[in-house]
């Protein structure tokens, strides 16, 4: 009996020693179960050595829940202005001045609702090397930028290749809202004329005349024998150095006569002489010789305008 208790005591001491060892070395185990011989034969006690769960690293989601992103959505790009709306039209001016190849036309759509502050730029079109007037434009804008209660205007300017502001508009061209159109034909006014390359006006080296069709008023047949003669009324300038003798011609197509009458006039110049400031009505004689068919009725067009109708006389009619 004594020997039996001694064995149990030794076993208990061994278990205790094992527990001490486990306590010192068990940091890596999550859980360890040790059977301990009880004080009574056939019984065992279960001791559980537990370690706190390892901390979850920062930023790693827990298994029981999914991470939810809170990043703001990517902004949608602004709609392409080409897919919205536009104001179209033409730009011209009255002066007889040619634009240089390096000229630039700038057309802007602005909010001009407020009188005492600078107008807000809504959209613009820049046209390089525009050629000669009239110059077509199309200013595209975003309809979301338009307030139906506001006033919007189109403005235009022409800058020459030497940096000179040549033309601007001095008239308001309202568009889009309040019943205004979206197509505008603009007439600009001169700001700075071209510089005189010679330092003074000189007819010989600065004014080479060009041919231009006259403005026709009307016509009448004044003679039938021995040939048909028509007098054509047209305007002609009386301003000095504005007119030189031109040309006339005609062609017959079936029963239509197409005549052209021209004068030689100055080309566009830096001095912007208004040759139409003073003009009178003059007569031009048209003769057709033996080009007509006797008894044929003809319509006469001069510079594209129908002016009269007549029947060619029979050859032996006196």
Q: CB neighbours of 98 closer than 8 A, spacing ≥ 6?
A: 132, 267, 268
Is 23 a residue whose pLDDT tops 60?
no
Is 281 a residue whose pLDDT tops 60?
yes
Q: What is the pLDDT of residues 81-109, one digit of tens each?
A: 454 899 999 999 988 788 888 999 999 99
Residue that wins the pLDDT comparison between 114 and 258: 258
Rg (alpha carbons) of the chain, rounded to whole number:
50
Q: What is the pLDDT of residues 168-224, one digit of tens each?
A: 998 889 999 999 999 999 999 888 877 754 444 444 444 577 889 999 999 999 888
CA distance 255 to 230: 16
Residue that wins the pLDDT comparison between 281 and 61: 281
CA distance to 52, 193, 309, per residue, from 60 (Å)? 18, 75, 99
Query: Residue 240 — pLDDT band, cuts 50, 70, 90?
Result: confident
Give the chain's domains with CATH numbers. Answer: 2-49 (no CATH), 81-190 (2.60.40.2990), 206-311 (no CATH)
Please give the model's pTM, rounded to 2 decimal places: 0.41
Is 56 a residue whose pLDDT tops 80?
no
Please tell me the predicted confidence (pLDDT) of residue 214.
Answer: 93
């Amino acid at each position: 009996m004594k020997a039996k208790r001694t064995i149990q005591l030794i076993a208990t001491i061994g278990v205790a020693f094992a527990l001490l060892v486990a306590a010192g070395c068990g940091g890596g185990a999550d859980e360890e179960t040790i059977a301990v011989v009880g004080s009574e034969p056939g019984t065992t006690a279960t001791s559980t050595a537990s370690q706190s769960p390892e901390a979850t690293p920062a930023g790693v989601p827990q298994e029981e829940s999914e991470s939810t992103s809170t990043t703001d959505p990517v902004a949608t790009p602004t709609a392409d202005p080409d897919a919205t709306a536009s104001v179209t039209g033409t730009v011209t001016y009255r002066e007889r001045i040619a634009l240089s190849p390096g000229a630039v036309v700038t057309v802007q759509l602005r909010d001009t609702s407020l009188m005492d502050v600078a107008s807000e730029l809504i959209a613009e079109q820049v046209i390089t090397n525009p050629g000669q007037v009239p110059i077509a434009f199309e200013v595209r804008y975003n309809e979301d930028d338009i307030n139906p209660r506001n006033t919007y205007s189109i403005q235009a300017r022409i800058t020459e290749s030497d940096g000179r502001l040549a033309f601007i508009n001095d008239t308001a061209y309202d568009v889009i809202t309040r019943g205004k159109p979206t197509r505008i034909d603009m007439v600009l006014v001169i700001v700075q004329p071209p510089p005189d390359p010679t330092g003074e006006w000189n007819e010989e080296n600065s004014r080479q005349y060009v041919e231009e069709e006259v403005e026709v008023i009307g016509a009448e047949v004044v003679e039938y024998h021995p040939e048909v003669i028509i007098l054509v009324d047209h305007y002609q300038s009386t301003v000095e150095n504005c007119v030189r003798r031109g040309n006339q011609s005609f062609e017959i197509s079936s029963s239509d006569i197409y005549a052209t009458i021209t004068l030689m006039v100055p080309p566009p110049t830096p001095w912007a002489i208004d040759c139409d400031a003073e003009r009178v009505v003059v007569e031009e004689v048209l003769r057709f010789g033996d080009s007509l068919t006797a008894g044929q009725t003809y319509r006469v067009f001069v510079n594209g305008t129908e002016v009269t109708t007549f029947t060619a006389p029979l050859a032996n009619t006196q």
